Amino acid sequence: MTRRSGTDLGSPDPQQELADLSEAGLLRTLKPLDSPTGPRVMRDGRELWNFASNDYLGLATDPELAEAFIEGVRKYGAGSAASRLVCGTLPPHHLLEEALAAAKGTQAALVFSSGFATAVGSLPALAGKDDVLVLDKLCHASLIDGARLSGATIRVFPHNDTTKLARLLENIRAKQPAARVIVITESVFSMDGDLCPLTELIELKDRHGALLFLDEAHAFGVLGPRGMGLAAELGVKDRVDFQMGTFSKAAGLAGGYLATTTAWRDLLVNRARSFVYSTAPPPALAHAAMTSLERITSSDGDHRRKQLRENIAVLSAGHPSPVIPVLLGGNEAALEAAARLETRGFLVPAIRYPTVPRGTARLRISVSAAHPPDAVAALASEISPM
Ligand code: PMP
């Protein structure tokens, strides 16, 4: 399908594009919940178990976190009112970055208004037209868009294929010995829930004088000691040049970050356009994020991660993350399966192209520590015949 059909080229009316999407089974619509988010939600007057959110630790509706948000508003007001560089930097922005860098074990961290803004701001700040960005085929849209915006040469390696990546890096180095080369991947892939082969990737990037940019979006809070991600779990965090993450998933809030050295952080402060030219995140959000970080790194966080691992094992023994795909292939099959599960009391999204490659439409189950084990077991028996 082309973005526009031949008949409406140049037409100001988007109806034909919408009709094309609908015909291809790719039209998406916004459906509000009738309740707050949480493990149990209301939609269309029905209560459903929510396996669609990325609230892996159940913090999004946590009373202490909500209270921290309110306290932040009382202390600092509602908005930041300016970009960080102009006069929008408030105490909680600094405090959060210090706490995050300490928890991640990096020299510095920089906070953005979302994970998406982190990727599309950082990558063009780190690479330009003489550089090469090397992405895993399944990298998230934000990383792809950031790479495109940078103007660097983009190379893609098949998902988690380190043999192909090694060959690619050799070729790049043979042609461009002086280029800055950055390998970009995710710790937990957002639609497949599998892990990248991090140790091998680090060896490869070191061998070829490249840097590594690791998006820990779905691993932050979930994997590693104190929930500090896959690099921490494997004891290689000092060898990852850029650790990206987000406060929008296990941390239960919103906002993105990049943890790195002080020098790289300072460069981003000067060059990341989504940082320089965007109003700072609300200070109350940064204040609440500090509470979230405390919870994630505490024994309460450990307890939640244990519960999460147990819930994951009920659905898929040995699976390494809370993102569990059920591959169905066709768009209609995925939509029908999601609709059937909804009639059975479960909210599980159907994921289609372009979020995943064509022909790999799927259900995407997001497990949370907040799901009661019997709800997880009930979902497991629903999906086992699929
Ligand atoms: N990276 C990955 C791997 C993601 O899945 C997402 C969110 N879907 C993001 C980045 C963007 O994060 P945010 O939702 O905080 O903008």
Fold held by 25-56+322-383:
Aspartate Aminotransferase, domain 1 (3.90.1150)
pTM for this entry:
0.96
Mean per-residue pLDDT of the chain: 96
Closest CA to 338 of 271, 383, 272: 383
Out of 3.30.565.10, 3.40.710.10, 3.30.70.20, 3.40.640.10, the CATH code matching 63-297 is 3.40.640.10
140 lines ligand 1 (CB under 6 A): yes
What is the domain partition of the chain in residue ranges? 25-56+322-383, 63-297
Averaged pLDDT for residues 284-297: 98
Told to judge if 186 belongs to the known catalytic residues of this protein, a careful annotator would answer yes
Share of the chain residues as helix, strand and coil, in percent rounded to the nearest 5:
45, 15, 40
Averaged pLDDT for residues 287-315: 98
Catalytic residue among 205, 218, 237, 287: 218
Closest CA to 119 of 164, 158, 76, 150: 150
Determine the residue type at 211.
L
69-116: pLDDT as tens digits: 999 999 999 999 999 999 999 999 999 999 999 999 999 999 999 999
Query: What pLDDT is stored for residue 13 in this prediction?
Result: 85
Which of the four pLDDT bands, split at 50, 70 and 90, describes residue 26? confident
Told to judge if 140 belongs to the known catalytic residues of this protein, a careful annotator would answer yes
Distance (Å, rounded) from C-alpha 352 to C-alpha 357?
Answer: 8
143-188: pLDDT as tens digits: 999 999 999 999 999 999 999 999 999 999 999 999 999 999 999 9
Output the six-digit token pair for 329. 């292939």
115-136: pLDDT as tens digits: 999 999 999 999 999 999 999 9
| Helix or strand run (H / E) with residue 53 | none
Residue 109's SS3 state is strand
Told to judge if 35 belongs to the known catalytic residues of this protein, a careful annotator would answer no
The DSSP result for 229-287, as a single string, is: -HHHHTT-GGG-SEEEEESSSTTSS--EEEEE-HHHHHHHHHH-HHHHTSBPPPHHHHH
Distance (Å, rounded) from C-alpha 231 to C-alpha 223?
Answer: 9
Output the six-digit token pair for 311. 């819930």
* Cα-Cα-Cα-Cα dihedral sign, residues 200, 204, 206, 210: negative
Catalytic residue among 50, 53, 54, 150: 54
